[in-house]
Amino acid sequence: MCNVISRANFTYTLQIDNQTFEGKTDAEGWIEQIIPPSAKKGQLILTDSDETYDLNLGHLDPLDQLEGVQQRLKNLGLYVGDIDGKDGDMTRTAVQFYQKHKGMTVSGAIDDELKNSLQNCHGS
């Protein structure tokens, strides 16, 4: 697993269904929280940075679909657009930033090297 843009030691509020969890991210920016297995949606609010993330739980599109690449880049804090399956400027910029950060050739291409790296980095 890896963090691309660290949110280390950020205060957060995590809302899952009717439950609210509060805490701080760990030294690498991760949150570990047991949630109900039936949970489908949630929201993460990083109060130190005013960032809010809507969470679709239990589902990621496959990496062979552009939506799957966008979802993983968004989860890593790199892609800010809609998960729309379009290879637009925001997608290419997020891919290029990821490639640069990982020491890959910066091409913006969604190739096997990128997909394998995302798989390893994201953990799924």
In order of start, what are the domains of the chain with their CATH numbers? 11-56 (no CATH), 66-122 (1.10.101.10)
> pLDDT for 30-44, tens place per residue?
899 988 878 888 999
Q: Residue 26 corresponds to which amino acid?
A: D
> pLDDT for 48-91, tens place per residue?
888 999 888 877 899 999 999 999 999 888 999 999 999 999 99
Q: How far apart are CA 64 and CA 115, in angstroms?
A: 8
Q: What is the pTM of this model?
A: 0.65
Which pairs with CB-CB distance under 8 Å and at least 24 residues apart come from 75-81?
Answer: 75/122, 76/3, 76/4, 76/5, 76/121, 76/122, 77/4, 77/5, 77/7, 78/4, 78/5
* pLDDT at position 107: 96
Q: Residue 63 corresponds to which amino acid?
A: L
